[in-house]
Structure 1
Amino acid sequence: MREVRLAGGFRPGRSVWTTLTGWCMVLSATAAVGAALWGVSPHPPLRTELGLAGLTVVFAALWVAASYRARLRPLDKRPAGDSGAADPFLRWLLATVIVLGTFAALLQFAMVSAEYGRETERLKSVGYGPREVPVVRSAGDPAHHPASGDSDEYWVTDLVLRIPFDSGPREVTVPAVYTRDAPPAPGTRVSVYYAPADPGTEVTDDGQRMEPGPVMTGSIALFASPLIIFGYCGVLAVMEAEDVHALRRFRPRVHLPALGLLLTGLLLLLPKAQGFQVGGFDDLPLLAACLTPALAAVWISRNS
């Protein structure tokens, strides 16, 4: 491993504070990525995820300050360039955070809008969901769709349904109710979405809401697993264990540009994460933000 010296002949030092703030920085970044993947905040603003990301920025600044202070005092007794045996765990952890952090940023493309999320929360509060209700009568002629090569036979009918709201049952006309085999006769039951506590909410047979969370993340991760594995192997290939271990000692020409790239990525995430647009765009800054972890990893590998 090459001996590392800073301007003026100083060798980057370590202390209890550099170790503490460094690990807090890594762990808070890991927690931010984990919260984004889990979908702790189901819609913008992503307060928990941004709070953890902000905490990471604070710990990064403290780590830089502690490193500058440590280099001014002869705290390290090891020979120059020797910082102990390389620990592969840190390399694996950083590779995991970089790859999953990029994936978590890409997931924001599937994030619902703030308005959609607030409406979903309101619907939950009034018990919105699918339930079977009785058919009173048909409100129009059924439209028959015969079986074809890629679909079974089905019917679409405007129906008058009896909806048991909390305030009492009401007859509601629901357009375009889908049924298979035959149009429903009076007295049969069909499944529709409605809110028992709010008769003003629309009754529909197609009211499923998209909710970000572990299930959606897992489905997308399964579909994208080849790319995730390829990215993980690629990061491990460019970040050797000795180079990653050397990152524990602060070097301005390596760390400051890398931290600057990651901070830029966080700022580019803000429009999507907070639910606002910049110049009419929120997806374009998000796309640029997704590139910053990989750019930081390449910078580190090229300059370590």
Structure 2
Amino acid sequence: MTLMKQICGRLALLCAVVAVVVGNLPLFLVPPKGAMLYPAVAAPAFAVAWAALSASDRRGIARVDLDKPDTPRQARPGSAWLVRIGLAVVVGLGSGAALIQVIGPDGEYGRRVAEVREAGGGRHTLPIDSVVGTARRTGTSINEQDQYAATVTVTVPFTDGPRSVTVSGVRTLDAPAPGRAAHLVYAADHPELGVHDDPYGFFDTTFPMIFIWAFTGVLTLVLAGGLATVNIGRLRIFHPRVHLPAMLILGAGGALLLPLVLGHPDGSTDILLAVPAAAAPWAAAVWMIVKLGRLHGTDAVFAPTHFDA
């Protein structure tokens, strides 16, 4: 049972790391985001199994004895550092993965883009044939170029033949005019899905991601260094008062992200879900460290793990 407990614990951490890393990639901005969802679901499943096996190991131990200082088994250097790095990634980059879910198309527009991409469509650049009405400034400026939005006509090369299509809300840098490029999303084999504006280029996706990566990356490095002073052996000893609330906090944060991973909430809703979800890993980490300090004393917790010779 001890071996199974160790395997479940390591798989839980590994799946969490995979989910967090995938969640930080700019490849999964449109739901459904199964590449992130599957390991994110597997992580708590393995964590629950680890907790259940750990609790089974400790059956018959008086509750009062569970609160007494324990003697964690000594860890191998490589094992302890892998756990430190894994925890730092899950907590630090986990916040970034939550915030990145608000980047990209959302709401009804996001749903339409997802349908086009599921049908094999993608992003295309076509010349504008004509501008319908008057273009308006959006109030956004990129590299000192004003962004405009307008209704335009374009000739789309669908599989069954080219068609002239009118597309509303097409955003361009500088005022749109015949011959200038329009970035659009459509499926060549499915004209019934329509043609939609697609302004999501570098400045709409990767550029804000760089800020998130830089911010959470620094926090991850700081946390990894801070964990060097924490007795990892104590973190790996299951205690219901320490680990169960932390697991509930992480679970609540993950639940908040489900609408963003599976659906298309509008821009005002997704940020309200992502911010508390981003705070959940840090709240769980603080809970565990503080609670362990109260149970075993700060001198026992805030000290490096001792390695076997």
TM-score by length of 2: 0.65
Give the 3 Å change call, closer, same or farther, for CA 226–166 of structure 1 in structure 2: closer
- Cα-to-partner distance string for 1:220-251 (whole Å, 9 max, x where unaligned): 34223542244224424553454223212112
Which of 211, 215, 223 in structure 2 is aligned with 1:223?
Answer: 211
Shift of 1:52: 2.0
For residues 107 and 150 of structure 2, what CA distance do their matches in structure 1 show? 34
Give the 3 Å change call, closer, same or farther, for CA 244–114 of structure 1 in structure 2: farther
Give the 3 Å change call, closer, same or farther, for CA 275–241 of structure 1 in structure 2: same
Look up the match of 2:281: 293
Q: 2:96 matched to 1:96? A: no
For residues 267 and 53 of structure 1, what CA distance do their matches in structure 2 show? 10
Q: 2:124 matched to 1:129? A: yes
For residues 50 and 105 of structure 2, what CA distance do their matches in structure 1 show? 35
Question: Percent identical across equivalent pairs?
Answer: 27
TM-score by length of 1: 0.66
Amino acid corresponding to residue 208 of structure 1 in structure 2 = D
Asked if 2 retains the 8 angstrom alpha-carbon contact of 1:106 and 1:290, the reply is yes
For residues 152 and 257 of structure 2, what CA distance do their matches in structure 1 show? 46
For residues 45 and 111 of structure 1, what CA distance do their matches in structure 2 show? 13
Give the 3 Å change call, closer, same or farther, for CA 253–115 of structure 1 in structure 2: same
Look up the match of 1:81: 71
Instruction: Trace 1:160-175 onto structure 2 (pairs within 5 A).
Output: 165-168=158-161
Asked if 1 retains the 8 angstrom alpha-carbon contact of 2:31 and 2:114, the reply is no
- Cα-to-partner distance string for 1:14-54 (whole Å, 9 max, x where unaligned): 81111111001101111211222235644234344233222
Amino acid corresponding to residue 102 of structure 1 in structure 2 = S
For residues 173 and 271 of structure 2, what CA distance do their matches in structure 1 show? 38
For residues 227 and 238 of structure 2, what CA distance do their matches in structure 1 show? 17
Asked if 2 retains the 8 angstrom alpha-carbon contact of 1:25 and 1:59, the reply is yes
- Cα-to-partner distance string for 1:196-240 (whole Å, 9 max, x where unaligned): 556667778xx325389xx94x54342235422442244245534
Q: Which moved more, 1:255-264 or 1:235-244?
A: 235-244
Shift of 1:169: 5.0
Give the 3 Å change call, closer, same or farther, for CA 83–37 of structure 1 in structure 2: same
Which of 221, 246, 254 in structure 2 is aligned with 1:258?
Answer: 246
Asked if 1 retains the 8 angstrom alpha-carbon contact of 2:145 and 2:173, the reply is no
Shift of 1:151: 5.5
Give the 3 Å change call, closer, same or farther, for CA 32–159 of structure 1 in structure 2: closer
Question: Counterpart of 2:231 in 1: which secondary structure?
Answer: helix
Amino acid corresponding to residue 290 of structure 1 in structure 2 = A
For residues 15 and 110 of structure 2, what CA distance do their matches in structure 1 show? 26
Q: How many residues align?
A: 264
Q: 2:210 matched to 1:210? A: no
Asked if 2 retains the 8 angstrom alpha-carbon contact of 1:26 and 1:56, the reply is yes
Any unmatched runs of 5+ in structure 1?
1-13, 75-79, 144-149
For residues 110 and 171 of structure 2, what CA distance do their matches in structure 1 show? 26
Instruction: Trace 1:179-198 onto structure 2 (pairs within 5 A).
Output: 190-192=180-182, 193=184, 197=189
For residues 101 and 10 of structure 2, what CA distance do their matches in structure 1 show? 27
Q: What is the CA RMSD across the aligned residues, in angstroms?
A: 4.4
Give the 3 Å change call, closer, same or farther, for CA 18–202 of structure 1 in structure 2: closer
